[in-house]
Amino acid sequence: MTRIRNIAVAAIAALLLAPGCSEDGPDAARTQDEQAPAQTLADNPVTNPGFEEGADGDAPPGWAVNGAAEGASSAEAARTGALGLAVRSLGGAGPGPGVLVQTADAAAFRGQRVRLSVSGRAVSAEGPARPQLWLRADGPDGVLGISNSDPAGRIDGPDWSDYAIVAAVPEAAQRIAFGVIFAGQGETHLDDFAIAAAGPLSEGQQLPAPLAARGVDNLAAFARLYGYVRFFHPSDQAAAADWDAVALAGVQRVEGAADAEALRIALLEVFSPLAPTLRILPAGGPAPDMDFAPDADLVAWRRTGLGQNPSPNVYNGAREAPLAGLPDLAPLDLGDGLTAYVPLKAARDADGRTLPAASGAPPAPAKPDGFLPSGDDRASRLASVVIAWNVFQHFYPYWDVAVVDWPDQLRRSLRRAAQDPDAAAFDETMDRLVAALGDGHGNAFRTGPNGVLPLEWAWIEDSLVVTRADPGGATRPGDVVTEIGGEPVAALIAQWEARSSAATPQFLRVRALQRLAQGPAGRTVTLTLARDGGAVEAAELAFAPATGALRYEARPEPITELAPGILYVDLTRLADEAFDPALDRMAAAEGLIFDMRGYPAGNAAIRVLPHLADGPITSHPFNLPIYWRPDQADAEFRNSSWNLTPQAPRFSADRVVFLTDGRAISYAESVMGVVDGNDLGLIVGSPTAGTNGNIDRYVLPTGHNLIWTGMQVVRHDGSPHHGVGVLPDIPVAPTIAGVRAGRDEVLEAGLRAAGG
């Protein structure tokens, strides 16, 4: 079988966001589309839809297979005609999942919902093979939306069948990409792709409209109750519910309630089928009695983090026998003179079913068949705010140090979401909601620019300074960037900082500068530069796919003897396979400098630590949260820190130095926490990012991927790490003069500290 793949794409998100679709790259694909005759939806504008073009065993014209898969035209894979496509998914044996992809001009699809269909069969599966139809819409500034989770598009049977998904193509779309994702292992046969109209985009899509004051109150009450019932009411009905659909239907049902009684009725209509023992009563009255029998078999939610990440992780959720002392009910003030009493326990019958059995079903979203939530739909935006706010309210473990009025953020975000004109505007709403957390891991990404400027820059002496650039390029180290696209740098940084989440000022600036350097691949921008000697020049740069070549300022090779007996080891670039061959050199060195200014390349960073230890060493305490009640009431924390034992050979250097700065976050801070808490070396540079602990995840109806810190990490003495970071023993910061002279002043200070 001829293999067609693009190994530069390393993960499913990157594969679906990548613009290229042919073996020759996006430009070749674009030329092919531009040379094709104009088409309408009635023409089925899929190139080579039945894979009849080409020869048996060859790559099918018009298509490409990216990532961990191989594919070729095949007579054996044909359902109709002479040929079909056989795809072999390698499921982890290569760079991420496999993706079959084709692109097309979006002109014929704009403003419509389209139906993508294919004939397929899953021939074999060594593991969880999950072929899934997908479609992506691209605009001038990046991805506008991805549809890749509709169960109707999952090819899951050994016999030929027809599969289809419906996706929205916004008016701003310039191109679409589509095909099949292969997330597991096995062989799939495909034939007869087609795209057809499925109704106008406006069908079922709510247009922007401001929220009345009453509407804000209603939705805030709905949001609070949603989190209580969804995450902590243990009924079978709640556990099995489609909670995205509940959120979507709930915001539509509840917003217009005219008074407290109408609100109470609307909330009960939404939640009673899922929580049949829920009560909503006038505030100030007695709480209802659950009246469990003395010998009742009770169940409650025990959540370690949110526990809904589909990937293996430390977080999980399960219904089990209640914690001793867990109250029967969680009262919730809804405002408007109403209190909700949400049961935290449910009784089970002899067959293990929770009691009582609910009657009826929650309201369904007022949307047509095939409607897909998106950031372009008002109800979808409101529902996503409700869910995201609750995820953080109940499962973000740093409310003890966060400085934010979180209930006010709910109201602000609901008002913004109601009026956002499109998905791009809603991206900013979500950015600002997550930014309020003050969490360096915090993110809500749906789209992402697919290019970066060909340089590295940093904030030095209150200026944006180029620290590395392509030799002979338009910029050079030491250039001070004063304007970008005619806009003052300070204003642009302030805009991105308002949309970026960080626990410390140093990482907020790092994150803003990272985002400032990103943009759509191929787009150009003009930088105004102040150069050494006072000259002001303009440089036009193009955003290009990231290669990692300019990831950091110029540094020595990953393992370099900087002075006699002084060995430099860059743990942000040292490959795992280079660690063992370097052990003897590190053990024999008189002085060691480990560079941790950034994120470790692999396992070498943690493998270094036992060779520096005389006895057992530990990381900062990683406290895994356990929640039985809403609002993190009486949360428990279980220490899951690293425990490391000494390993030979022992590094016998007289001086050991670690370089670090605000770019070091998460895993990098785990390593630096071991160094700091066990006195394994001198720390030179500036404070780290101040954010550590495993991330947790959730995907919203609008397609936004929420990421946040799910566990609480503190220093060895119990004091906060979050918002502080690991502090240097010897503070050092670069200067503009040093950058222009080609010096690495942090490394120079580390060399002096190591005895060089």
For tokens 């959730």, the residue is 698
- Residues 339, 281: contact at Cβ < 8 Å? yes
pLDDT the model gives residue 26? 25
Decide which of 489, 515, 542 is a domain's last residue: 542
Q: How far apart, in Å, are the Cα atoms of 288 and each of 270, 348, 438, 457?
A: 20, 20, 39, 61
| Burial environment of residue 265 by CB neighbours within 10 A (0 to 12, 13 to 18, 19 or more) | middle
Is 640 inside a domain boundary?
A: yes
Examine the pLDDT at 573 and tell me if it is beyond 50. Answer: yes
Residue 129 banded pLDDT, cuts 50, 70, 90: low
* CA 496 remoteness from chain centre: 18
Is 551 inside a domain boundary?
A: no
Same domain, 90 and 219: no
Same domain, 218 and 194: no
Same domain, 599 and 709: yes
Range of the domain at 566: 559-753
Examine the pLDDT at 21 and tell me if it is beyond 60. Answer: no
Same domain, 238 and 274: yes
Decide which of 327, 351, 371 is a domain's last residue: 371
* Beta bridge pairs of residue 359: none
Tokens of 332: 């919730």
Residues 2-19: pLDDT tens digits? 323 222 223 344 445 443
DSSP H helix total and E strand total for the chain? 16, 39
Same domain, 161 and 97: yes
Is 393 inside a domain boundary?
A: no
Distance CA 673, CA 666 (A): 10
Which CATH number goes with the domain that contains 536?
Answer: 2.30.42.10
pLDDT the model gives residue 11? 39
Same domain, 536 and 581: no
- Residues 544, 536: contact at Cβ < 8 Å? no
Same domain, 673 and 700: yes
Same domain, 188 and 255: no
Which CATH number goes with the domain that contains 177?
Answer: 2.60.120.260
Is 415 inside a domain boundary?
A: no
Residue 476 banded pLDDT, cuts 50, 70, 90: very high
Examine the pLDDT at 309 and tell me if it is beyond 80. Answer: no
Decide which of 200, 227, 250 is a domain's last residue: 200
Same domain, 607 and 535: no
Distance CA 393, CA 1 (A): 51
pLDDT the model gives residue 36? 32
- Residues 372, 164: contact at Cβ < 8 Å? no
Examine the pLDDT at 666 and tell me if it is beyond 60. Answer: yes
Residues 194-218: pLDDT tens digits? 999 887 776 778 878 889 999 999 9
Which residues of 106-224 form beta strands (DSSP E)?
A: 112-124, 131-139, 142-147, 161-169, 175-182, 185-200
Same domain, 218 and 103: no
Is 742 inside a domain boundary?
A: yes
- Which residues contact residue 494 at a Cβ distance below 8 angstroms, ignoring those fewer than 6 apart? none
Amino acid at 124: S
Full 3-state SS string of 12-70: HHHHHHCCCCCCCCHHHHHHHHHHCCCCCHHHCCCCCCCCCCCCCCCCCCCCEEEECEE
Residue 356 neighbours by CB distance under 10 Å: 12
Residue 68 banded pLDDT, cuts 50, 70, 90: confident
Residues 522-540: pLDDT tens digits? 899 999 999 998 899 999 9
Share of the chain above pLDDT 90, in %: 74
Residues 442-466: pLDDT tens digits? 999 987 778 999 999 999 999 999 9
Number of domains making up the chain: 4
Is 461 inside a domain boundary?
A: yes
Supply φ then ψ for residue 469, to 5 degrees. Answer: -155, 160
Residue 400 neighbours by CB distance under 10 Å: 9
> Which of 243-257, 302-316, 687-701 is the least confident region?
302-316
Which CATH number goes with the domain that contains 740?
Answer: 3.90.226.10
Tell me the pLDDT of the chain averaged across its residues: 89
* CA 516 remoteness from chain centre: 19
Same domain, 196 and 344: no
Is 4 inside a domain boundary?
A: no
SS3 content of the chain, % helix, strand, coil (to 5): 25, 30, 45
Same domain, 229 and 332: yes
Is 422 inside a domain boundary?
A: no
